[in-house]
């Protein structure tokens, strides 16, 4: 039986509970959307290397790519993270920025939505969305930042599909 990811990373349920509570408070209905992946930040390059090496015991490396001048690894888990009837198969591990300090903890989750991002934002026009990446050529996204350590993002394609496309 495969090991559970919480044997390596912090239990994501506290993070997910908070994220879903924020979404509920903001009346953003994600019930029909796929919870695509979760991002786990680390403090140091040493921790990044250690976590990436250990994650190979839990699944397969889909990609390690240079994104915004630092490596980001994405893993597909053999056993998904189970959360309230949902299954999260992909974990994203960005290496830390040299000029920013992060605590080792989850940073964001991303949902795949089946509508135009502008239409989605219009439906929730009382929310202040971050739109820095809405014009990306591949898989644009919008997000809601709830704190320095929590964001929820929305895009149209799964991370796994984007990785396949880019390879």
- Non-local CB neighbours of 55 within 8 Å, separated by 6+ positions: 8, 61, 73, 75, 91, 93
Contact between residue 56 and residue 64 where contact means Cβ atoms under 8 Å apart: no
The stretch 76-100 carries a mean pLDDT of 92
Is the predicted pLDDT of residue 97 greater than 90, yes or no?
A: no
- pLDDT value of residue 1: 33
What's the pLDDT tens digit per position in 5-37? 667 788 899 999 999 999 999 999 999 999 999
Alpha carbon distance 112, 90 (integer Å) = 13
b/e per residue 53-71 (b: at least 16 CB within 10 A)? eebeebbeebbeeeeeeeb
* Pairwise CA distance, residues 45 & 105, whole Å: 15
Which is nearest to 105 in space by CA: 17, 159, 43, 161?
43
Q: Return the sign of the alpha-carbon dihedral for residues 47, 103, 164, 16.
A: positive
Mean pLDDT of 47-73: 92
Domain 5-24+33-166, CATH homologous superfamily name and number: 2,3-Dihydroxybiphenyl 1,2-Dioxygenase, domain 1 (3.10.180.10)
- Could you tell me the pLDDT band of residue 2, with boundaries at 50, 70 and 90? very low
């Amino acid at each position: 039986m495969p090991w559970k990811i919480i044997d390596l990373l912090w239990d994501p349920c506290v993070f997910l509970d908070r994220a879903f509570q924020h979404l509920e408070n903001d009346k953003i209905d994600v019930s029909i959307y796929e919870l695509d992946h979760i991002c786990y930040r680390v403090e140091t390059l040493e921790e990044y290397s250690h976590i990436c090496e250990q994650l190979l015991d839990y699944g397969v490396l889909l990609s390690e790519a240079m994104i915004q001048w630092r490596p980001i690894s994405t893993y597909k888990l053999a056993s998904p993270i189970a959360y309230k009837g949902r299954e999260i198969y992909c974990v994203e591990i960005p290496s830390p920025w040299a000029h920013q300090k992060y605590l080792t903890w989850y940073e964001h989750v991303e949902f795949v939505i089946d509508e135009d991002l502008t239409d989605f934002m219009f439906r929730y026009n009382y929310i202040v969305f971050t739109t820095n990446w809405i014009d990306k050529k591949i898989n644009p996204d919008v997000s809601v930042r709830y704190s320095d350590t929590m964001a929820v993002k929305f895009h149209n394609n799964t991370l796994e599909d984007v990785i396949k496309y880019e390879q």
